[in-house]
Amino acid sequence: MTATTIPTQAATALTSAPITPEQLAELRSNDPAVRILDVRTGGEYETAHIAGSYNVPLDTLAEHARDLAAVDHQVVLVCQTGGRATQAHGTLTSAGKDTLHVLVGGMVAWEASGGDVVRGTTERWAMDRQVRLTAGSLVLGAIGASLAIPKAKWIAGGVGAGLTYSALSNTCAMAAVLSKLPYNQTDACDIAGVLDSLHEETATEAR
């Protein structure tokens, strides 16, 4: 999603548009009931997240799109840099949610702006870093193996093609697979509890 320049004071009046960290801070001040959904993995969320946000990983969000779209309050979607939040935006928009925003730059931009962050005791790598490590390892392994098995070089080509498609489609199959690993799985998302909290009159206090 391409960021647009919009007046900070108008943030609360928007129905569906990207929102900067500064606009989000003002929106939370003007509308305490705004909901922040963090669509990263549970591991990423537990490492660091915006105070008061709710963890609903992207795959879980897709499974409960209609329930989440029924939330009356404004919703801001957050991920590490914006890509997954943009995917979530499309899913919830299709399910009928209109008062919906994507945080431009994600957690990276929020932390850089000095926004409130809750940090866990265990640090896990962000998904984009995991993807880079996995893709790089596959390419290096394929090149090394090709010295003995020439056809192994096609593995490196396949990884390159996959990354190209990922950029063009703004999706990442490798990230979807990695998100299923135990390393990225936690109990941070209790979807039943999250749905109950999202429908409450006022947002849960920062936690």
* 85-104 per-position pLDDT tens digit: 999 999 999 999 989 999 99
Number of H helices and number of E strands within the chain? Answer: 10, 7
| Residues 75, 35 share a domain | yes
Q: Is residue 194 part of a domain?
A: yes
What tens digit of pLDDT does each residue of 3-52 get?
A: 444 444 444 444 568 999 999 999 999 998 999 999 999 889 989 999 99
| Residues 101, 148 share a domain | no
Number of domains in the chain: 2
pLDDT higher than 80, residue 1: no
What tens digit of pLDDT does each residue of 74-88 get?
A: 999 999 999 899 999
Q: Which domain holds residue 138?
A: 127-178
Nearest to 175 by CA among 59, 93, 92, 86: 59
At residue 5, the pLDDT reads 40
| Residues 48, 141 share a domain | no
| Residues 140, 82 share a domain | no
Against a cut of 0.85, is the pTM above it?
no
∠ CA(2), CA(128), CA(98), 5° rounding? 40
**Residue type at 26 in one-letter notation:** E
Secondary structure E strands in 59-155: 75-78, 100-103, 117-119
CA 11/CA 27 separation, integer angstroms: 6
CA 92/CA 56 separation, integer angstroms: 12
| Mean pLDDT of all residues belonging to the chain | 83
What tens digit of pLDDT does each residue of 140-179 get?
A: 888 888 888 988 888 888 888 887 877 777 667 777 777 7
Q: Tell how strand 35-38 and strand 75-78 pair up.
A: parallel
